[in-house]
Amino acid sequence: MNIRSLLLLSLALGIAAGAAYKFGGAPREDNTASKKPPPPTPVTVAQAVARDMPVVLEVVGRGEAYESVTLKSRVDGQVLEVPFSEGQRVAKGDVLIRLDTADFKAKVAQAEANLARDQALLKKARADVERYQALKAQGFVSEEKVAEVHAAAEANAAVVEADKATLELARLQLSYATLHAPFAGMVGDKRVHTGAAVKVNDTELVTVNRVQPLYVTFAVAEKHIPALRAALAAKRLRVEAFVPGDHKQPRTGVIRFVDPAVDAATGTLRVKAELTNTDAALAPGQFLDVTLVLDTLRDAVTVPAEAVQQGPDGPFVYALKGEEAGMRKVTLGPVREGVAVIAKGLATGETVVTDGHSRLVPGGKVKIKTPGEKPGGAPTGKPAKQG
């Protein structure tokens, strides 16, 4: 064996000895030593409390005029005056449109003259009847002649009645030349102006809407129909309407109409409620948020809505037992204005986690944060202590 071979053998033996020392001969650290437990998770908590909670159905509705009429002329004519202002409030009987009445006044005068003439002829005919009856009693005229005179008098009486009807019609047409508001409300825009010709029952002149009270029409999904009908039957249904974005001023209402049939295309039931609208702030066609209070749950177990989490098996909460947080499956009831009703799975007085869920594990230790404390554990506005 030469020197080179000896050197290679020595190097191989050295490497083998080092490996044996590292992987076999060196003392090992104790991997079975218990790991340090994780620190408690800072959380915010709240107690489950009992309170009365309304069962509410929220839908979107649209304002609808209590009454709405588009006025049209009942006679042909020419517009003489349009005395109203667009959008103004009007009282019942206020003048809205005046047509030129010259033709109608002339027809009234003609009918009055015809009536006066025929009344004079009737008076003469009746006098002839009396005279001929006297002559017949004396034997100077025949029964046939008396009958003829009597028939002429009756014919004149019929003509007088026809003249009266003609005069009444002429006066009606004269009255139709002035159009009045049929009820108190608000008028729309002017559809005609002075000088315009209008045709009978054809030309639209102006629309009048009654907005005090006001209807709001909305649709209710068919799954809510049993609860809606039960609330109506028990007379406990409350209706409130709000302008979108302003829920501080509710308008109370009363259900006036429930469609007897469900719309097959949408699966909804049309409902109409009456709102007082005393200040006329709501307008026909306006979108409104409608709240239907169907019932009230008495002494319901409630928690802040943020305490309820959704898992693969449904809603759950983290309930505290001592310093540990346990996952609790619950049955969720109505949720309204940040408050959730727990129908099953939680009792009044139990403490639940409302913030810090992302770092929680079932059975993990927790540390309740003081008000104003940041998630890292330091109070708001103060730096956390450095370790």
Burial of 194 (0-12, 13-18, 19+ CB in 10 A): exposed
The more confidently predicted of residues 292 and 246 is 292
Does 213 sit behind a cis peptide bond, omega within 30 degrees of 0 on the bond before it?
yes
User: What does the pLDDT look like over 366-382, one tens digit per residue?
Assistant: 888 876 555 444 444 44
Which residues are within 8 A (CB) of 45 and not within 5 positions of it... i.e. 6 or more apart? 320, 351, 352, 353, 354, 368
Q: Is the distance from CB of 60 to CB of 289 less than 8 angstroms? A: yes
Q: Does residue 160 sit in helix, strand or coil? A: helix
- Least confident range from 9-23, 143-157, 318-332, 353-367: namely 9-23
What does residue 265 show for φ and ψ, rounded to 5 degrees? -75, -35
Residue 335, both tokens: 């949720």
User: What does the pLDDT look like over 140-180, one tens digit per residue?
Assistant: 888 899 899 999 999 999 999 999 999 999 999 999 999 99
Q: Are strands 364-368 and 41-47 parallel, antiparallel or unpaired?
A: parallel
Is 73-99+179-207 in CATH node 3.30.540.10? no
Query: What are the DSSP calls for 252-306, one per residue?
Result: EEEEEEE-SS-BTTTTEEEEEEEE--TT--S-TT-EEEEEEEEEEEEEEEEEEGG
Give the separation between CA 364 and CA 318, rounded to whole angstroms.
Answer: 10
Q: Are strands 351-355 and 364-368 parallel, antiparallel or unpaired?
A: unpaired
Its CATH class, for the domain covering 43-53+299-368, is mainly beta
- Global pTM? 0.66
Q: Is the distance from CB of 207 to CB of 181 less than 8 angstroms? A: no
- CATH classification number, 56-65+210-297, choose in 3.40.50.720, 1.10.10.10, 1.10.1420.10, 2.40.30.170: 2.40.30.170
pLDDT value for 178: 96
Residue 25 has pLDDT above 70, yes or no: no
pLDDT value for 342: 93
Residue 194 has pLDDT above 90, yes or no: yes
User: What does the pLDDT look like over 344-356, one tens digit per residue?
Assistant: 999 999 999 999 8
Q: Does residue 384 sit in helix, strand or coil? A: coil
Residue 30 has pLDDT above 70, yes or no: no
Give the separation between CA 213 and CA 65, rounded to whole angstroms.
Answer: 8
pLDDT value for 374: 54
Give the separation between CA 232 and CA 239, rounded to whole angstroms.
Answer: 11
Quick one: average pLDDT of 180-202? 95
Cα–Cα separations (whole angstroms), residue 172 to 21, 152, 198, 234, 370: 125, 30, 17, 51, 84
Q: How many CB atoms lie within 10 A of CB 17?
A: 11
How many residues are listed for the chain in this entry?
A: 387
- CATH classification number, 102-176, choose in 1.25.40, 1.10.287, 1.10.1060, 1.10.3470: 1.10.287
Residue 225 has pLDDT above 60, yes or no: yes
Domain residue extents for the chain: 43-53+299-368, 56-65+210-297, 73-99+179-207, 102-176
